[in-house]
Structure 1
Amino acid sequence: MRASARFRTRSAAAVAFAAATALVLAGCSGGNSATKDDEGAAAGSLVIDTAFSIETADPGHTYDPTGNMLAKALYETLVDFEGSDVSTPVPGLATWTENDAATEFTFTLEDGRVFSDGSPITADDVVYSLTRVQGMAEAKPNFLLNGITIEAVDEQTVRFTTETPLLQLPAILANPALGIVNAGVAQANGGSGDADDSAQSFLDGESAGSGPFVLDSLDLTSQIVLTKNEKYNGDEESAYDRVVIRNVTESATQLINLQGGDSMVALDLNGDQVEGLGDGFTVDSVPSGQTIFLLLNQSADIAGELANVKIAEAIRYGLDYDALLELAGAGATQATGVIPTGFEGALEDGVAQDLERAKAALAESGYAGQKLTLQFPNDYPVGGVEFTPLAERIQDQLAGIGLDVELAPAPFATELDAYVNGTEGFGLWFWGPDYADSANFLPFAPGLKVGLRAGWAADANPEIAGLAATAASATDPETRTADFTAFAEAMQADGPFVPLIVPGRNIATADTVAGAVYNSVWDVDIAEITPAG
């Protein structure tokens, strides 16, 4: 950094609505495995039902929806978000400044903050926690810190240096997987911070963070029990002494438990279920951070004569999006582009059906009646959206513009390989961001991860590749939004992707509790849930 570089204080970055890639993996049926215990409501217990997607309580290894929610409760991060708003990062454990080039960020820890054992949080704990994630090559969140150098300046200050401009760094650091761990405790229990790190087994039994809760017990197949952190001295002190998170894989069972008073919060009800809840319950129904989309492969080796963006244009304008949304339920919206609504640079309006334009684009493509085979996972609903009826409706609508589509459903595990390896000619898939920033959607550009899965090389459209590069390297928050908008507009005009639906996410609660709102990074912040009134 030049000595003359001007610094500006930042408690926010120009970021917007995100997600987490929130893939809900099936676990064992929970039923009433954690019904009211001997202490019951008098002990200040909160019971939450969800379908578990979790492998560990170690934040350095977690990267699943339930795992993120748990890590958020046990470990604090340098940066935070308030409620459901992930458009503006706010100070967590620290405030920060950055240089004009967005390549150097300096974080200053809040005075007096302590871990659950009462020991102070220092810069060394921050450096250890984050370099541990970097050093464990097999750790799922490892990629979040690629190209970042982390060093302690003094006991309260940490400096981050990036190889390229990274305005999204504060948003990245809000991810619960980057929670700050008590370095002394972790190191004493196998936390070497490299390939030989063995602290996970310890952290699956005891927590070593500064969050509002501590871990009481962890059973990855049935339930997680948290108790109040008596040493907590932050601003999110829990209103409950005890929290039970139960693995209830069937949404119908979650509904029964909620209606019967056996739980207070249900995280996985579908649109029809929440619309029928009636009095005595509150529902937070909002768009998630995921996007369901179609891709048309642009590699002639894969798609042959059908490798043509004009066919993608014909599909884009041949669909009736309102009719597709009927299958999505409460909270869902039409996708307005590869950047979902609410994110920085997202387009305000989605495509409207235009059959004349669709037929003209199809004629221009040279399509001669070949059969398009639509591949998709048939056992993995996203946000309550089942792919089979969605694919059937797409097939029927595209027949109306003269496209012959046959359906080729397959199990998720089978179809995933074809999608990731770029061997699908015509696919129905979904994408969710890894952190709360629009940079998560640049991989749709030619030559990048999702673009290459669609056989779309960088030289296929140098203009869009350049727009993506400009957005990725932006250093001025004032112009960054325009960079992402230009990218989104170009993708919608000339890309091989057809964004369809942003599924909804429904958080249902009994009226006895308040504050359970969806956050696309960690589902819900348990510490924000309080008794109603």
Structure 2
Amino acid sequence: MVTRRSTSLIALGAVALLALAGCSGGNSANGGSNGSKGDSLVIDTAFSIETGDPGHTYDPTGNMIAKALYETLVDFKGSDVSTPIPGLASWEQNDAATEFTFTLEGDRVFSDGSPIEAKDVVFSLQRIQGMEDAKPNFLLGGLTITEVDDKTVKISSETPLLQLPAILANPALGIVNSDVVMENGGATDGSDSAQKYLDGASAGSGPYVLDSLDLTSQVVLKKNDEYNGDEEAGYDRVVVRNVTESATQLANLKGGDSMVAMDLNGDQVAGLGDGVKVDSVPSGQTIFLLLNQSPAVAGDLANVKIAEAIRYSLDYDALLELAGAGAVQATGVIPPGFEGALDSGVKPDAEKAKAALAEAGYTGQTLKLQFPNDYPVGGVEFTPLAERIQAQLKDAGITVELAPQPFATELDAYVAGTEGFGLWFWGPDYADSANFLPFAPGLKVGLRSGWAAEANPEIAGIAADAASATDAATRAEDFTKFAEAMQAEGPFVPLIVPGRNIATADDVTGAVYNSVWEMDIAEINPAG
């Protein structure tokens, strides 16, 4: 059984709209830059948010706001996503990892003072299951959620699901006040219409409540006076502003108009002076190359040995120069910090590359490298990265033609599996290595690369073992085997895990990156 740790996440409630400066950078801190308790916390980030309704949110900024407004059954501490810990509930599971029992502990309350009960948990999760168009809907696929008593909920899975606790830590699965949401259109049968209400008010249980939401300019949070968890709000008010240009974020931070800048690139954080702190860490995303294994798509270039030759032809240190602070070489399809991640990546080896090309029968055919040219990932621009890959492969005797397209256009080709040679990225939906099994032959990303299960039954079997494991130790071994096998064979060439740089004023502490919810606002406090 997992022991109880009364971890709070964040809360919400309904208040009036505050007129504050938008992304242009007026002094929204209102003189609060000394960081004392009770002042405003001002955060600048480039918005990726569609709603304040946790049941519909699935974007980076949306996840961060939901985390600051709604508590989940399970949590992670800070940037550590390796070990789930209790949030609103402790849990135990059966030996087959198909039945999980969650027990609400303590007398926790929503922002209106009403108690959190099992009925709220069941409603919150079944509401998402009933909304087929909701982005988080897939997280709860195949699950049966039932109320045992006022404090206990049972969740059953059709198959072993050791990753369920990690899934339930996703902010999209925050627990809402069922009475309030049902009074405002909430339902579990697919007829839910509560999103409009939750875009203007809140119904959660954490340290903050929603004050106002403008999807284009700013989100304002306010301290929840009814909060009774163990994460006291560090500020009376939090203003999250949409500042799309990293240079403007930097100017606002240096000028004292904001206290947190979330989107500075590696070059910018390298030049920061006194008065600013930076948390630079690898993100949870991996930038990789894929070589399609379908002859209908790639013709005679559909050969895993060409991918192997590319793996050993690249100078990964030189590619990392384009990524900046916090970035590291991808050691495999599982990024650092996740179970099964390898300690080191592939090193250039000209002899191995030459032998692989010879075995593939490569005679100088041109590989057309397709990639999105308007969608940087973690500050990494794909065009200069593609140009450097092209130059390095030319030195290895591999001819590459660059074929950039806008993100929306290229995404269609990637998802449809019609890219012969592509440069793409992948990030986790929740904090568990099961997120990276889709790279296996016969699974989602493998199939996008024309890599059927029968192309490599051994790796397909390892992935299946990891997915169905009922023992944590065995599962960890399976993930390591999977990472090792994928790094040795197959159509993928992991390149870079981009860095994530969060810069703060010296008078702010606790602003750290998390690969699932970007940053936990409830952990940010005035220094000292």
- Equivalence map 1:33-48=2 (5 Å): 35-37=28-30, 43-48=38-43
Question: Deviation above 3 Å: which 4+ runs of structure 1?
Answer: 8-12, 36-43
Which residue matches 2:18? none
Q: Which amino acid aligns with 1:133?
A: I
Which residue matches 2:354? 359
CA distance in structure 2 between the partners assigned to 1:281 and 1:88 by the alignment: 30
Which residue matches 1:402? 397
**Deviations along 1:200-251, whole A, 9 cap, x unmatched?**
0000111000011111100001111110000000111101000100000000
Q: Which amino acid aligns with 1:30?
A: C
Superposition deviation, residue 196 in structure 1: 2.0
CA distance in structure 2 between the partners assigned to 1:93 and 1:352 by the alignment: 45
Superposition deviation, residue 342 in structure 1: 2.0
- Equivalence map 1:40-439=2 (5 Å): 43-439=38-434
Partner SS state of residue 518, structure 2? coil
CA distance in structure 2 between the partners assigned to 1:519 and 1:110 by the alignment: 26
Superposition deviation, residue 39 in structure 1: 7.8
- Change beyond 3 A, Cα 1:270–1:521: same
RMSD between aligned alpha carbons?
1.4
Assess if the C-alpha contact under 8 Å between 2:259 and 2:505 holds in 1. Answer: yes
Superposition deviation, residue 195 in structure 1: 2.9
Q: Which amino acid aligns with 1:35?
A: S
Instruction: Give ranges in structure 1 of 5+ residues lacking alignment.
Output: 1-7, 13-27
CA distance in structure 2 between the partners assigned to 1:173 and 1:522 by the alignment: 13
Superposition deviation, residue 38 in structure 1: 8.0
- Change beyond 3 A, Cα 1:53–1:200: same
**Deviations along 1:288-338, whole A, 9 cap, x unmatched?**
000000000000000000000000000000000000000000000000011
Assess if the C-alpha contact under 8 Å between 1:57 and 1:71 holds in 2. Answer: yes
Superposition deviation, residue 9 in structure 1: 4.2
Assess if the C-alpha contact under 8 Å between 2:91 and 2:100 holds in 1. Answer: yes
- Change beyond 3 A, Cα 1:408–1:29: farther
Assess if the C-alpha contact under 8 Å between 2:30 and 2:40 holds in 1. Answer: no
CA distance in structure 2 between the partners assigned to 1:249 and 1:457 by the alignment: 40
CA distance in structure 1 between the partners assigned to 2:27 and 2:418 by the alignment: 45
**Deviations along 1:345-384, whole A, 9 cap, x unmatched?**
1111100000111011001101111110000000000000
Assess if the C-alpha contact under 8 Å between 1:372 and 1:405 holds in 2. Answer: yes
Partner SS state of residue 36, structure 1? coil
**Deviations along 1:24-60, whole A, 9 cap, x unmatched?**
xxxx981215623488867511000000000000000
Partner SS state of residue 74, structure 1? coil
Which residue matches 2:8? none
Partner SS state of residue 519, structure 2? coil
2:501 corresponds to 1:506: yes
CA distance in structure 1 between the partners assigned to 2:111 and 2:165 by the alignment: 25
Partner SS state of residue 505, structure 1? strand
Count matched residues: 511
**Deviations along 1:471-506, whole A, 9 cap, x unmatched?**
001111111111011111111111100000000000
Assess if the C-alpha contact under 8 Å between 1:171 and 1:435 holds in 2. Answer: yes
Partner SS state of residue 145, structure 2? strand
Q: Which amino acid aligns with 2:500?
A: R
Q: Which amino acid aligns with 1:174?
A: A
2:440 corresponds to 1:445: yes
Q: State the TM-score, normalizing by the size of structure 2.
A: 0.95
Partner SS state of residue 280, structure 2? strand
- Change beyond 3 A, Cα 1:75–1:120: same
2:50 corresponds to 1:31: no
Assess if the C-alpha contact under 8 Å between 1:34 and 1:244 holds in 2. Answer: no
Assess if the C-alpha contact under 8 Å between 2:428 and 2:516 holds in 1. Answer: no
Percent identical residues? 78
**Deviations along 1:125-152, whole A, 9 cap, x unmatched?**
0000000011000000000001111001
Superposition deviation, residue 111 in structure 1: 2.1
Q: Which amino acid aligns with 1:72?
A: K
Assess if the C-alpha contact under 8 Å between 1:29 and 1:249 holds in 2. Answer: no
Q: Which amino acid aligns with 1:36?
A: A
Assess if the C-alpha contact under 8 Å between 1:10 and 1:98 holds in 2. Answer: no
